[in-house]
Structure 1
Amino acid sequence: MRVGGIAAALEGLAPALARTGLEVHVVTCGASGGEADEQEAENLFVHRVNVDTQTNDFLHWVHELNARMDARADALVQGWLAEPNAKDNPIVLHAHDWLGLFAGKELKYRYHLPLLSTIHATEFGRNNGIHTDMQRYINHCEWELQWESWRVIVCSGFMRGEVMHALHTPYDKIDIIYNGVSPANFEFPFSTEEQAEFKAKYAAPGEKLIYFIGRMVREKGAQVLVESMPKVRAQVPNAKLVIAGGGYRSHLEARARELGMTEQILFTGRVSDEVRDRLYRVADVAVYPSIYEPFGIVALEAMAAYVPVVVSEAGGLAEVVKHDVTGTTTLVDNPDSLAWGITRVLQNPAQARAMAANAFERVETVFNWDIIATQTADTYNRVWSEYTKSEWANGSAVYAAPVPALEAPAIKEPRRVSAKKPAPPLPPEDDLPLIAEALADAGIVPETAQKPKRAGRKKGGD
């Protein structure tokens, strides 16, 4: 099972890069299982490391993970450099988000190799600003990652603007490369009878199934969807909402009860990949009312599954879904607008099917992993070409020492206060739910954790 957008992105990108002829080595956390070293396809190798340290300190765990990823990647690089004609074999380091900063930076300086990064989201964007010491620390790590990177890849025009604003990255240092999806993932055998039997687990015969899948965090907008349901039901009495995804949902269930929607809204919790994909196949509409969304791979999944989509205009979603062409877009954090969009799709099935067909075509021509891998390989080639002409490549560059990372905020007990005085600010440990969200974004189930970190290497010498 994969959780979060980064995991979904790497799951599609790594094999596609390997198909271009690049030799791809993914160094990641082994908490989700699998062999320590495994060849998953031609040119694609996965190296998993484990963090044995028992700690409740998230930042300590991140540094332990990076130390182990660094050690594994270091052994790989040493082996490559010892090969005959090593200078003819390009080696490019590619870090994904700040959780891979420390290992990536160590390898960069140790071997004078080029490092590039993909920034999938920012702490500033997730929290609508920087408000706590923990957020400030993560924001600084994101800044340091883009500073150390030869080039920075982002997944949308929206994210280019955010990285420029939040991290002060120059415009011409950023490449926009969309995420993708594989339509073949949804082309599994699933007869009409099987679909009816499966749908009956979630909706009564004749009900219109509204489908949302995502983590139960504010930025994904499930609370907006719950608020919209009374207005949707007023126009479409047979509408049934299915909300799938992990996270804290008791407040959403309580709100559904207050609205009298307990029978009309079903919370499934986290579901398997198989159930997730089957729900796409039986849904009448997929809805993603995000408040903050760098891209929105789930919308692509719905489009690839031929499901009509309704999304908010948040961030990259407005680039993925073209209003009235490939789907319906609505105002951000606006239950009335969302109810309008859902009702419009459910009441106009012919128009919805036409938009779904357009969306599928756009998936095949724009959000195709092979196209995206070619664009990524072009960035690798550009970086390597510039690198070989630089003083960094021959070791003669004079450079300042890397900016030291900010000291991790200490976790302290709140001081005692009298009843007459206002309570002090919440202690830093209240940031931990936000950190759990960051972990999930990186494809890490919070109880175990996993972090993708990639070192890419091209076969042969160009």
Structure 2
Amino acid sequence: MRICMLSWEYPPRIVGGIARHVEEISEALASQGHEIHVITADHPNTAEYEHRKGVHIHRVKNQPSQDQTTDFTTWIMHLNIGMLQQAIRLHQHQPFDMVHAHDWLVGQAAITMKQSLGVPMTATIHATEAGRNHGIHNKIQSYINQQEWLLTYEAFRVIVCSDYMRREVQHNFALPADKVDIIPNGIDYSKFAFDFPNGLEFRRRFAMDHEKIVLFVGRMVPEKGAQVLVEAAPKILAQYRDAKFVIVGKGGFLPEIKARAAALGIKNKILFTGYVDDAALLRLYRVADVDVVPSLYEPFGIVALEGMGAKLPTVVAETGGLAEIVDHTRTGITTYPGDAKSLAWGVLEVLKNPEYAHYLGQNAFHKVEHVYNWQNIARATTGVYERVLHQAGRALPVA
């Protein structure tokens, strides 16, 4: 099939988890014989067109640029116009069989392709505004919620990453159950298998030799729960003085989290790295001792998969998709969401019991290897596309 993939972020432009998801599913689909065209926002010092790992990447120059306006919805409107113009040019050259929209941010372009060009449309909902904010509380949230509803209404089928998200979109958008498909995210676990002769030297950038690294990776926003780990840190240190907390990520919530760490008197035991590039992040996973994902809202939890793929014992909040990924006491440890005491208990279970930690890490890797494999995920996605074409009355393309 010739597929148009719409996403507002795509590497090297990485804002959240959508960028990596779209990159991985696009490459896996391309490896299985599909022609994939990703249309996305531009990024500094990046080519407007690339052909990488079988995927055609088209970056749309957007005016005004995101840093020139404080009105994000206006920026998104201009981005959709640019995406649509690019999609029309590509469609006129050779028609698309499918358009796949990732979240509301690209919804207008996808809906117009469906309505004006007659291209059947599939949508993936990665998260919802109501879920992120525990409800709808203001006009901008209401607008985004309406755009999410419209995208799910117009799509032939809606893909979500977990049963938790299936329930959420069905409840929020009154979707019929038979319109929603659950296809989990995945990771390329082979990326953790690399020669690392200077591992100890690299590790010393973050912790002393006798310290155990407790790793958090995520955006600095309240729903990702870094503040819960900071509150848990004194409780962990009271029983395990050699813990060192490495918190990776950037975002507007970071100053508040740093201030809380200072108030708790644990600044010397927490390292805030800010943004870390991919190469360094992979190495961090390799040298860490435990991966912590204390999210308050998590539709799936791909960061947990990263830790599991690196054979790390993983401690998560039992919420959203995380509760479906981690099997408590077998592939990781689940704790109460937002509960620093519970999180501290989970981390201490790992730090105090090295053999148990190794057992959890090995089991976690085997689950990732067999369940969260991108080739399997691509085959499931192709099955959704075929169902959409059938619903739209289209014949399957002949290879």
The TM-score, its normalising length taken from structure 2, stands at: 0.93
1:166 to 165, 172, 175: 172
Show CA shifts across 1:398-440 (max 9, x none): xxxxxxxxxxxxxxxxxxxxxxxxxxxxxxxxxxxxxxxxxxx
The amino acid that maps onto 1:285 is V
Show CA shifts across 1:18-51 (max 9, x none): 1111111111111254322222133x21111110
State the partner residue of 1:112: 118
CA distance in 2 between counterparts of 1:33 and 1:96 reads 24
State the partner residue of 2:378: 373
How far apart are 1:60 and its partner, in Å? 1.1
1:157 to 163, 167, 174: 163
Show CA shifts across 1:172-198 (max 9, x none): 10000000000121112102xx11111
State the partner residue of 2:347: 342
1:59 to 53, 73, 76: 73
CA distance in 1 between counterparts of 2:209 and 2:321 reads 35
SS at match of 1:263: helix
The amino acid that maps onto 2:180 is I
How far apart are 1:112 and its partner, in Å? 1.9
CA contact (8 A) 1:8 1:297 kept: no
State the partner residue of 2:91: 77
How far apart are 1:3 and its partner, in Å? 3.4
1:351 maps onto 2:356 in alignment: yes
2:183 to 177, 185, 203: 177
CA contact (8 A) 2:214 2:288 kept: yes
SS at match of 2:244: strand
CA contact (8 A) 2:312 2:360 kept: no
1:13 to 8, 25, 36: 25
State the partner residue of 2:291: 286
SS at match of 1:21: coil
Structure 1 residues 105, 247: closer, same or farther in 2, change over 3 A?
same
The amino acid that maps onto 1:330 is T
State the partner residue of 2:398: 461
Structure 1 unaligned segments of length 5 or more: list them.
82-89, 394-457
The amino acid that maps onto 1:133 is K
2:243 to 228, 239, 246: 239
State the partner residue of 2:139: 133
SS at match of 2:273: strand
CA distance in 1 between counterparts of 2:117 and 2:260 reads 55
State the partner residue of 1:430: none
State the partner residue of 2:210: 206
State the partner residue of 1:39: 51
SS at match of 1:388: coil
5 Å-filtered alignment, 1:401-440, equals none
CA distance in 2 between counterparts of 1:66 and 1:210 reads 40
CA distance in 1 between counterparts of 2:121 and 2:222 reads 33
CA contact (8 A) 2:62 2:78 kept: yes
State the partner residue of 2:223: 219
State the partner residue of 2:36: 24
State the partner residue of 2:330: 325
State the partner residue of 2:7: none
The TM-score, its normalising length taken from structure 1, stands at: 0.81
Give aligned-pair identity as a percent: 48
1:299 maps onto 2:304 in alignment: yes
Q: Aligned-residue CA RMSD in angstroms?
A: 1.4
The amino acid that maps onto 1:325 is R
The amino acid that maps onto 1:461 is V
CA distance in 1 between counterparts of 2:124 and 2:150 reads 13
1:3 maps onto 2:15 in alignment: yes
1:122 maps onto 2:128 in alignment: yes
CA contact (8 A) 1:209 1:283 kept: yes
SS at match of 2:298: coil
CA distance in 1 between counterparts of 2:116 and 2:260 reads 54
SS at match of 2:267: coil
Show CA shifts across 1:219-277 (max 9, x none): 00000000001110111111110111011311111111111101111111111111111
State the partner residue of 1:92: 98
The amino acid that maps onto 2:42 is G
SS at match of 1:94: strand
For this pair of structures, how many residues does the alignment match?
383
How far apart are 1:55 and its partner, in Å? 3.0
1:229 maps onto 2:233 in alignment: yes
Structure 2 unaligned segments of length 5 or more: list them.
1-11
Show CA shifts across 1:107-138 (max 9, x none): 11112221110000000000000000000000
Larger deviation, residues 345-354 vs 331-340: 345-354
CA contact (8 A) 2:121 2:156 kept: yes
SS at match of 1:382: helix
CA distance in 2 between counterparts of 1:168 and 1:232 reads 43
